[in-house]
Amino acid sequence: MELRDIEIFLALAEELHFGRTAERLHITPSRVSHVIKKLERRIGGPLFERTSRTVRLTPVGERLRNDLHPHYQGLQEGVKRAVLAARQKTEVLRIGMIGGGNAQDLRLFLETFADRNPGTELQIRSMAFGHPFGPLRNGEVDIAILWLPVREPDLTVGPVLFTESIVLCVPAGHPFAGRESVSYEDLADQVIIDTAMPRYWSEAVVPSRTPSGRPITVGPKADDILEAIAVVASGEAVVPVHAQTTRYFNRPDIAYVPIHDAPLAHWALIWRSDNETDAVNRFAQVVSDLGPLAL
């Protein structure tokens, strides 16, 4: 059994979704399906029960997951320790950022932490806004930088890193593209991109109703920023996004228009409450010491 096959099996056992597993491992859903079928042939029985809506582990699948997981984790930790030793580092702190993040904007935090903690290696991990809490819960990242509010009982909300405005992403030929600004009230006559993100979390950026109470129509679904931009560029929908998007995702087929009545977005450190390590606390202390930036 190849190590990559074990990784794919264990990821699917956590996600219970072929698409999310593929996204997490940067492979195609067909690759996930192929590996699972190969493992099932080798085992001699099904590892997952699949329907059109759900994926569940079978008893055999549960047994295999429980047997493989600690050994796989041990291998991963061994490789990680070897890599750190080669780099003369003693630990890694993995920071999750939506769409690859805005690390250039946050250099002050990252460089201050690096100066104070020369033995800790910082690693940036890209996260999809459609599934913002999964990487924290499954251990892919140690902390995440997410917009507020975050109301998850198993997650801790740390200090705010920065605030920024919200803009509307529209096709380049859209009537709004030439405006100085728009209002959330204008969205009642538009189709807005839908997402799988928790409703309370998306409401902070993409409200379901205008300030006067008019419903806002949702259309095509997108779970990451590149997918959302592609939908907008095709003319299918528009979508409110954070202002950092204008700097990191500037394309000739889309335009960004300020939303003058949108509240400022606040981005904070978020971590799993049962994974509050010394490195997490030290990074949170750096953010607290420096205070939030206004981007």
pLDDT in tens, 110-168: 999 999 998 898 999 999 898 899 999 999 999 999 999 999 999 999 999 999 999 99
pLDDT band at 171 (very low <50, low <70, confident <90, very high): very high
Residue 72 has a pLDDT of 84
Share of the chain above pLDDT 70, in %: 97
Residue 89 has a pLDDT of 62
Stretch 58-72: mean pLDDT: 90
Residue 133 has a pLDDT of 95
Bridge partners of residue 93, in order along the sequence: 122
Stretch 23-48: mean pLDDT: 92
Distance CA 46, CA 43 (A): 8
Return the C-alpha torsion angle 57, 62, 66, 72, nearest 10. Answer: -40
SS3 158: strand
H or E element at residue 155: strand 155-164
Share of the chain above pLDDT 90, in %: 75
Instruction: Kindly report, residue by residue over 197-223, the tens digit of the pLDDT.
Output: 889 999 999 889 999 999 999 999 998
DSSP-assigned letter for residue 28:
-
Token match 């969205």: residue? 187
Residue 99 has a pLDDT of 87
**Is 79's pLDDT higher than 80?**
no
Kindly report the average pLDDT of the chain as a whole number.
92
Of 51-55, 181-185, 263-267, 284-288, least confident by mean pLDDT is 51-55
**Strand spans (E) along 54-133:** 55-57, 91-98, 120-127
Residue 85 has a pLDDT of 65
pTM confidence score = 0.73
